[in-house]
Structure 1
Amino acid sequence: MNIVLQSSLFTLNKSRILLFNLSDEKLSDVSIPPYFSSVGSHIRHILDFYDCIFNVVDNEVDLTARKRNLDVENCCNTAICYLDTIINKLEDLNDKDVKQQIVVIDDLGLGKTKIDYTFAALLAQANSHTIHHYAIISYILDRLGVTIEDATFGYNPTTPKQIIVE
């Protein structure tokens, strides 16, 4: 299996661990400042991004045309089902799929634009995007008093590790 696919699956499986160890109340809690977003809203956003990737029409992927399944934000079981759907789609991809040239439509702040990509590059972007949102989720969980038993959750693999000298 392609390394980009392996990385995406590895990263997304962290969502599974999180969702199996979180209550619906903690998933949907929007009490943490300054943005008052929930863990569930970030999980939904991550999965919507991946879901959008699989909507290739005329060799184009429109990242601005995401579904927004709000039920995912409030129910761990619904989020797990959505996650499983995304993981199954990723597992069905092959090397030819990943090497495919595509056009990505996105809004980078100045309106929609078309960008030449490979599917692998889009998956790599989705993986980095997921890790970025895991960092935000980590912050929310800390404020909610929820501990994750994964020291790498929310950290990009290139982030320098803090060395504690005793």
Structure 2
Amino acid sequence: MTSRHSRSSPATARLVEENLLTLAQLRGMVAALTPERYREAFGEHGRHTLGKHVRHIIDHYDALLDGLDRGAEVIDYEQRQRDEALEQWPQQAARHLAAVEARLSLLGSGPSPDALTLAYPLDDERLSLASSLNRELAFLTSHSIHHMAIIALLAEQSGIHLPESFGVHPSTLRHWQRASEEQAPLSRRSA
């Protein structure tokens, strides 16, 4: 099957930028952790660690980027690598995140596939859902932020202090910025 490609759109470049900002924030947090903190177990069954959530985020980016590198028109997030070293060693995860960022940055400037198909398991069958690179980039931002919000809760329980913006979706950050700008003129008038 021949893959059709077109020049990357301004929307693609903006979505890539959102992902890059999200991953840079995650990489900064991961790079500052000791392996003990990164592996610390949380929850009744001890299944949650910061590292497992980071590895899960990385796996999803790798699934998309590896699929695109192979020229695949089908993206399957269920076929993840699940490299346990990425959930055990924060410095290795930070290096991998930097590599993902480098690969992602190329998407904003080069050709991109016109259409993708998302493989989605449903009970005993796999659905093939129409998708696009932009839709998958939007998904990856939201998916990453969702897991980063969980990471922030776990980090707080462990006494790790993160910026208020960590694990907050870019749309919420933009809303906070607009609200702050709207409040500034009011405070100047009352002064």
Shorter-chain TM-score category? 0.7 to 0.9
Query: How far apart in 2 are the matches of 1:59 and 1:86?
Result: 20
Q: Deviations over 1:25-62 (max 9, x none)?
A: 111111x2246310000000000000000232541111
Q: How does 1:4-153 map to 2 (within 5 A)?
A: 4-30=15-41, 32-34=42-44, 36=46, 37-56=48-67, 58-94=72-108, 97-98=111-112, 100-107=114-121, 111-148=125-162, 150-153=163-166
Structure 1: 5+ residue stretches without partners: none
Q: Deviations over 1:120-166 (max 9, x none)?
A: 11011011000000010011001111111x211112244476x9xxx
In the alignment, does 2:164 pair up with 1:154? no
Give the corresponding residue for 2:184.
none
When the two structures are aligned, how many residues end up with a matched partner? 160
Classify the secondary structure of the residue corresponding to 1:92.
helix
Query: How far apart in 1 are the matches of 2:99 and 2:93?
Result: 10
Structure 2: 5+ residue stretches without partners: 1-9, 180-191
Classify the secondary structure of the residue corresponding to 2:28.
helix
TM-score normalised by length of structure 2: 0.76
TM-score normalised by length of structure 1: 0.86
Give the corresponding residue for 2:4.
none
Select the structure that is richer in helix: 2
List structure 1 segments (4+ residues) > 6 angstroms apart after TM superposition.
none
Q: Paired residue for 1:3, among 11, 14, 39?
A: 14
Give the alignment's Cα RMSD to 1 decimal: 2.2
Equivalent AA in structure 2 for residue 44 of structure 1: R
Q: Deviations over 1:4-32 (max 9, x none)?
A: 000000100011110122111111111x2
